[in-house]
Structure 1
């Protein structure tokens, strides 16, 4: 039973670290290579998550659908990828600052320019993953090598 808990906890830790790095990397790429524009929020989608926040209630995220023109003059209507936790105090339509990035496959990624909570969430996920990994290293001396070799074999 202890080994199963060890495996599940280690997989959870590595998943949290992977998720954090992928979110932070994506935001970093968009901020460095993206183009800043002014967009108009057309609608807001409210999403209630099943996990609980620190106050004991459910976590709510708001996803903006924005409309803007690219540098090529193409009118785009797209939902921003990362939601915001704070409910907007105005109803659509209203203007926001955005950053968009079009990758090699013509996929368009859009984020809010001043959404610091996405970066904070990424660092929080990274902290949680590293925290659980440190607990594993402290409690299961030597068994972490088994997990690392297992993951290396999966990747090959």
Structure 2
């Protein structure tokens, strides 16, 4: 249990620091902006209590908001991501008490499930984030393009991170 806490604390610090100091400055003409900090929320254990997941998601989002000078947009998107994660895991995984500390890493779950998990939840997060950021349907096509390109960019970076730290499933 303490090992999982330490891994997640280090993962939080590394991903938020990378997001704030590196990925904030990377983008493609304001169309594709990566947000790989959401990997922290995606890799939390499956059996984490919902209230704690929402609190962690809000804290992660508000931390990024503090550096981006956005007033709660990332926090709201992270809480929406936590809700989507709960629904997705509840629908697709059947876990018992023994597997409640399972971290949905590429080595622990099949690649197809992991790719779908990352893609769907990232798309949901980005849709909420960019729709709240614009808060208008004035340039809806532009917003949809931003959501899709940012989602692709983020998913590629998350998969590269996952490949970097890939471990075979231990039996």
TM range (shorter): under 0.3
Q: TM-score scaled to structure 2, two decimals?
A: 0.25
**Whose strand proportion is higher, 1 or 2?**
1
**Whose helix proportion is higher, 1 or 2?**
2
Which of the two has higher C-alpha Rg?
Answer: 1
